[in-house]
Structure 1
Amino acid sequence: MPDLCTSLLNALSRPGSASSDFDLNKGITAPHRTLTPAGVLIGIRVETETVILTKRSARLKHHPGQIAFPGGKQDPTDQSVTDAALREAHEEIGLPRSMVTVLGSLPSHQTVTGFAVTPVVATVHGPFDPVPEAGEVSEVFEVPLAHLADPANYRVEGRRWQGRRRHYYAAPYGPYYIWGATACILRGLAERLS
């Protein structure tokens, strides 16, 4: 990409709508409930033009072993979902706030588990050696933004969940199966970048 920051800022300025885990599943509507605010960090390393992702610990109760962004629910001490995303990125992978430049956010994504997730798009500057928090993260890895920014790399797949066939986006990369909310959010960014 010719100028990473300019491309990302242009993408973030384009109109878009919120997404949901229910979008690809006709006949299944999101239940009416109060959603828990959460923030995730789409951290893009400037030097390598790669996106930082995590593999969740297999010991976690929810979504064990899945590919995810660093992030989590907004705590009462967080001033915003952006603060939540930055705090969680520091706790989960040791990313210092001083290395992060927040560019903006994408529309929220409603998860089947009851979260309103705000994807915070940011650049990460300088050398960074991730330190995975063993209780939550089993691995930190990076995927080229060029792969994730290409809408052709996303496909719709499905599996049975709670007695029904559920559809979702997937964007595999090497040994990593990126799917569900993470893939849906990244696909939204890819559409804005293309």
Structure 2
Amino acid sequence: MITTRAGGVSAPPFDTFNLGDHVGDDPAAVAANRARLAAAIGLGANRVVWMNQIHGDHVEVVDGPRDGPVDATDALVTATPRLALAVVTADCVPVLMADARTGVVAAVHAGRVGAQRGVVARTLEVMLALGAHADDVLALLGPRSVGATTKCPRRWPTRSRRHSRAAVPRRRQALPGSIFGLESLVS
């Protein structure tokens, strides 16, 4: 599920459905918004697992409900039924991955640094280790903010193209067929 800012209890400037607990919003409002999200998808609040994202490439396996967020990670993977994995983004890309046959799912916070370090590929490796099949994994790239305020270091586009081009042959070689159908976008 992808949410918007509408339908919550946060006051301006976070109004109204802010789910991020790291931006200065009232913690009670964030907790109420998160409880609303859990109720909307038919789960208890502790069955929606959040992460303290660090703009890196660490992947964490979650095997059950949690009362607090997973610390210092940018991807969550689980094979536990009825456990939702949450990712909060602004200018980073949320990537939701799933193998519907095996029930292995993931939520990835793909920021500039994490993407360059291979957080999505690492997440796929963890999914495969939990029993997912590469040919059955689907990925959804969620929305992200862009615009005049988006900052990108001058050298980053060149480095990203270099890393992306280098990753494509390995991905094709290691995993037969197209996993995400994105090879044409990065080559």
TM-score by length of structure 1 reads: 0.24
Question: Where is the strand percentage greater, Structure 1 or Structure 2?
Answer: 1
Quick one: higher RCO (CA 8 Å, sep 6+), 1 or 2?
Answer: 1
Q: State which structure, 1 or 2, has the greater radius of gyration over its C-alpha atoms.
A: 2
